[in-house]
Amino acid sequence: MAATVLVVEDEKEIRELLRRYLERAGYGVLTTGSGAEAVRLLGERGVDLTLLDLGLPDVDGEEVLREAHGLGGVPVVVLTARTSVEDRIHGLRLGADDYVTKPFSPTEVVLRVGAVLQRARGTAAGAAPVPSYGGGRLRIDEARHEAVLDGAAVELTPTEWGLLTTLAAVPGRVYSRYELVNRVRGYEFAGYERTIDSHVKNLRHKLGARGPELVETVLGVGYRLGWSRDP
Ligand code: CA
């Protein structure tokens, strides 16, 4: 059965644009420009995913986000014009499953909606294989937002988590600092490239004795994950 996406966006043009693209991709679509209405729809309709603009005129978007999670953990992809690092981190702490910063390409939004839904279904079915590295010593469970090293959970900040998951996507591949900033932050942030090193240092510290061997420095180029992914 086609999944139903609730689009919560007060700008009519964006709302209708998203509706068109989502319907073309085969989704059932509900739309509203009001946060209060969104909360009502979440309560009474079978919504599989919410696409949520954080800047709403009535109810704060973040309240809608909390509501969606309270109601059986409906996944949320946040649309936001707020581009500051703090806002993105704040949103992730609140538990947004993904982020799209305005202006966005509607095709990209549809792709992200599909990825989040697939992840959510995998988790529900217990079917999503959790990738492991180094012969099962490191496990990265993206759905549960959890890194486990040698049997112990590692508490990571959003940036450290972003660094680790980025490096782990293709073990052995070298990522430059510039690339890491863009992948972890999703955009360029002046001066941030220089601070990547300190985030890597913190990440290694949290990974304990395994840190330096797990996150390797490639001199003059960048960083890579030292352990290979298990088959
Ligand atoms: Ca808005």
Q: What is the pLDDT of residue 92?
A: 61
Q: What is the pLDDT of residue 12?
A: 95
**Domain 4-124 belongs to what architecture?**
3-Layer(aba) Sandwich (3.40)
The mean pLDDT of 114-131, rounded to a whole number, is 71
Cα(83) to ligand 1 centroid in Å equals: 14
Cα(10) to ligand 1 centroid in Å equals: 5
**Domain 133-225 belongs to what architecture?**
Orthogonal Bundle (1.10)
CATH 3.40.50.2300 occupies which residues in the chain?
Answer: 4-124
Helix (H, G, I), strand (E, B) or coil at 8: strand
Cα(23) to ligand 1 centroid in Å equals: 21
In the predicted structure, residue 88 carries a pLDDT above the cut 80: no
Cβ atoms 199, 163 nearer than 8 A: yes
210-215 long-range contacts, CB within 8 A, separation 24+: 210/137, 210/138, 210/149, 210/150, 214/134, 214/138, 215/163, 215/164, 215/167
CATH 1.10.10.10 occupies which residues in the chain?
Answer: 133-225
Q: What is the pLDDT of residue 183?
A: 75
Lowest average pLDDT, out of 41-45, 80-84, 115-119, 134-138, goes to 80-84
Highest mean pLDDT among 29-43, 71-85, 121-135, 168-182: 29-43
Cβ atoms 25, 110 nearer than 8 A: yes
The mean pLDDT of 101-116, rounded to a whole number, is 86
Cα(129) to ligand 1 centroid in Å equals: 37
Give the sign of the dihedral formed by CA 44, CA 45, CA 46, CA 51: negative
Other Cβ atoms within 10 Å of 155 Cβ, number: 9
Whether the predicted model's global pTM rises above the 0.85 cut:
no
pLDDT digit string, tens, across residues 7-57? 999 999 999 999 999 999 999 999 999 999 998 998 887 899 999 988 888
Sequence-separated (6 or more) residues with CB below 8 Å from residue 142: 119, 165
Cα(34) to ligand 1 centroid in Å equals: 10
